[in-house]
Amino acid sequence: MWIEKLSAGVLRVLTPIGPRYVRPTTLQRIYLVWMFRHFSRLPEQVLTSRQQRLVEELCTSQEFVSLLQSNGVEEVPVIGTVERLEPMLLDEPHRRRPVRVADQHSPVADQG
């Protein structure tokens, strides 16, 4: 399988608008096969700066390809997947106002 990836593999880049497939050069494919030797999918944040530059270069080269034939079967092996998704914004937890210790002038203290 790695022979097919080396000879004709593509890189899948997951973006907010959907997956994109990029055709790297032979040397880039060799590096990508090594990069994805243990994982098939990596978030962009865990890549080294060199690896991030390579992904950026591939994405800006506009060498996007289509993987589907007319019958919907993949014709090109995928070397690996880079997740270039925007980090999800988590709702800030609702903060409670700090609880104050009742002082002598509060209505609670006067009831006792």
- Within-domain flag for 57: yes
- Within-domain flag for 71: yes
Q: Average pLDDT of 5-10?
A: 88
What is the spatial distance between Cα 19 and Cα 67, in angstroms, rounded to a whole number?
Answer: 11
8-67 residue pLDDT tens: 899 999 988 889 999 999 999 999 999 999 999 999 999 999 999 999 999 888 777 876
Per the structure, how many domains does the chain have? 1
- Within-domain flag for 72: yes
- Within-domain flag for 110: no
- Within-domain flag for 60: yes
- Within-domain flag for 22: yes
Domain that holds residue 43: 2-83
- Within-domain flag for 107: no
Cα atoms found within 13 Å of the Cα of residue 106, Cβ hemisphere only: 7
- Within-domain flag for 112: no
Q: Residue 43: phi, psi to the nearest 5?
A: -75, 145
Q: What per-residue confidence (pLDDT) applies to 47?
A: 95
Non-local (6+) Cβ contacts of 10 within 8 A are 21, 22, 23, 24, 65, 67, 76, 77, 78, 79
Q: What per-residue confidence (pLDDT) applies to 50?
A: 96
User: Please, which pLDDT band fits residue 80 given cuts at 50, 70 and 90?
Assistant: very high
Residue type, 65: V
